[in-house]
A and B are shown apart, each in its own frame.
Chain A
Amino acid sequence: QQQVKQSPQSLIVQKGGISIINCAYENTAFDYFPWYQQFPGKGPALLIAIRPDVSEKKEGRFTISFNKSAKQFSLHIMDSQPGDSATYFCAASVWGAGSYQLTFGKGTKLSVIP
């Protein structure tokens, strides 16, 4: 059972445009929602993360929007650049003490064209 659904599978955006990736989760116990960026041949790198006590978090050009009632969260990349071309994974976990694992979405391959 896939607990985190991510869409779209691939995304092509023009340079300077806004990239939007969406995720939906099922487990209401999740209370930590990170986004990871992965380049080919590298491990995932944390981009930005949010807890349910806020509905939006912004770090530079990256913004997470979180809708607890809908059990959805999204990543917005403003002023997308060719260097942002990578695969993006959303994930969810329980934040509390314990060996809680991350549940990943299937990933979105973003291509930013000049």
Chain B
Amino acid sequence: GAVVSQHPSRVICKSGTSVKIECRSLDFQATTMFWYRQFPKQSLMLMATSNEGSKATYEQGVEKDKFLINHASLTLSTLTVTSAHPEDSSFYICSARGPQGAGYGYTFGSGTRLTVV
């Protein structure tokens, strides 16, 4: 089945530094990748949608300059949290969707727990 690898699973960084999270589709080409943020005991909140080779589309209220998304290839998307602050601490999850014609749905990574101290 479709597998999405996300790493790191946990990261602790100092306030003001940047953190990069990687999301890879291992056995399929991801036409679209999604980045979510999840607060404790809440549902997933979509941050942005990205297609390979084009700029990401950010949801309303998500700062483009703080959450940089790069979708350089059909198997890799990265989320960089720039100048991180404690309020950016959260659980970040990526999702990838393969070609609809091949029956691919949405596959999620295992998530990254970001703690900013």
Chain A interface residues (CB < 8 Å from chain B)? 32, 34, 36, 41-46, 49, 89, 93, 95-97, 99, 101-102, 104-107, 109
Q: Say how far A97's CB is from chain B's closest CB, in angstroms.
A: 5
Task: Say yes or no: B106 contacts A46, CB within 8 Å.
Answer: yes
Given A89-B43, A99-B32, A99-B51: A45 and B57 interface contact (C-beta under 8 Å): no
B108 and A44 contacting across the interface, CB-CB below 8 Å: yes
Closest to B1 in A: A46
Expressed in whole angstroms, the Cα–Cα distance for A89 and B95 within the complex equals 15
- Among the listed stretches B13-21, B62-70, B109-117, which one makes contact with chain A, having 4 or more residues with CB under 8 Å of it? B109-117
A109 to B91, CA, bound (A): 18
> In the complex, A42→B107 CA distance in Å?
13
CB interface residues, B 1-55, toward A, < 8 Å: 4, 6, 31-32, 34, 41-44, 46, 49, 51
- How distant is the Cα of A89 from the Cα of B107 in the complex, in angstroms? 14
Chain A residues near B107 (CB, 8 Å)? 46
Q: Choose among A43, A101, A106, A109 the residue that contacts B46 (Cβ–Cβ < 8 A).
A: A101
12 A-B pairs (CB sep. < 8 Å):
A32-B105, A41-B113, A43-B4, A43-B93, A44-B44, A44-B108, A45-B108, A46-B105, A99-B31, A99-B51, A104-B43, A104-B44
Q: State the CA gap A95–B44 with chains docked (Å).
A: 19
Q: How far is B111's CA from A42's CA once the two chains are assembled, in angstroms? A: 6
Interface of B toward A, CB cutoff 8 Å: 4, 6, 31-32, 34, 41-44, 46, 49, 51, 57, 91, 93, 95, 100-101, 105-111, 113
Instruction: Please give me the residue from chain A that is nearest to B49 by CB atom.
Output: A99
In the complex, which of the residues B93, B100, B111, B113 contacts A96, with contact meaning CB atoms closer than 8 Å?
Answer: B100
Name the A residues within 8 Å of B93 (CB-CB): 43-44
Shortest A80–chain B CB gap in Å is 21
Which residues of A are found within 8 Å of B43, using beta-carbon distances? 89, 104-107
Measured in the bound complex, the distance between the Cα atoms of B111 and A34 in whole Å is 19
Contacts of A107 on B, CB cut-off 8 Å? 42-43
